[in-house]
Amino acid sequence: MVNLLLEEPLKSYDQVVEILEKYNIPYTKLAKDWQGNFIIATKVKSDVLITAGAHGDEHAGVVSSINLAIEGKHIVIPARDPAGVNGFIYALKFLLDKEVKSKDYAYIIDLIKRNADWYHQSNEFIVGIFGNIALCAMPPIDPWKGEDLINEVLQRELDKDERLREKLEGMRIIMPANLPYSEGVDLFDRAFTSFVINGRVENYNSLFDIPDEKIPYDFKKLKEFINKISPKAVFDLHEGFGDKFYAFVPVSKEEFNRDYDEIFRKIKAELLRNGLKYLTVKEALNELPKERVYAYNDEREIAVILHFGKRCRSLSCYAYKELGAFSITFETGLKARFKERVMMSYIATKTAISSLNLNS
Minimum distance between the CB of residue 121 and Zn ion, rounded to whole angstroms?
28
CB 2 within 8 A of CB 343: yes
Least Cβ distance, residue 297 to Zn ion (angstroms): 26
**Binding residues for Zn ion, how many (CB under 5 A)?**
3
Of all residues in the shown chain, the one whose CB is closest to Zn ion is 238
DSSP per-residue string spanning 189-213: TSEEEEEEETTEEEETTS-TTS-GG
The Cα 168–Cα 239 span in angstroms is 27
Residue 76 contacts residue 42 (beta carbons within 8 Å): yes
Q: How far is CA 64 from the centre of its chain?
A: 13
- Is residue 80 at the binding interface for Zn ion, with CB under 5 A as the rule? no
Query: Cβ of residue 61: shortest distance to Zn ion, in angstroms?
Result: 8
Of 55 and 223, nearer to Zn ion (C-beta) is: 55
Residue 273's Cβ-count burial label (10 Å; 0-12, 13-18, 19+) is exposed
Per CB under 5 A, 341 contacts Zn ion: no
Closer by beta carbon to Zn ion, 51 or else 86: 51
In the window 222-251, what residues touch Zn ion (CB under 5 A)? 238
In whole angstroms, the minimum distance from the beta carbon of 238 to Zn ion comes to: 3
Nearer to Zn ion, 56 or 128 (CB): 56
Nearer to Zn ion, 190 or 238 (CB): 238
Spatial separation of the C-alpha atoms in residues 308 and 314, rounded to whole Å? 10
Examine residue 55 and tell whether it contacts Zn ion (CB under 5 A): yes
* x/- track of binding to Zn ion for residues 8-47 (CB under 5 A): ----------------------------------------
By beta-carbon proximity to Zn ion, the closer residue of 232 and 238 is 238
Q: Which is nearer to Zn ion, 59 or 120 (CB)?
A: 59
Closest CA to 263 of 192, 164, 357, 343: 357
The angle subtended at Cα 292 by Cα 288 and Cα 295, nearest 5°, is: 110
88-96 vs 105-115: helix crossing angle, rounded to 10: 30
- Please give the residue ranges that form the binding site for Zn ion (CB under 5 A): 55, 58, 238
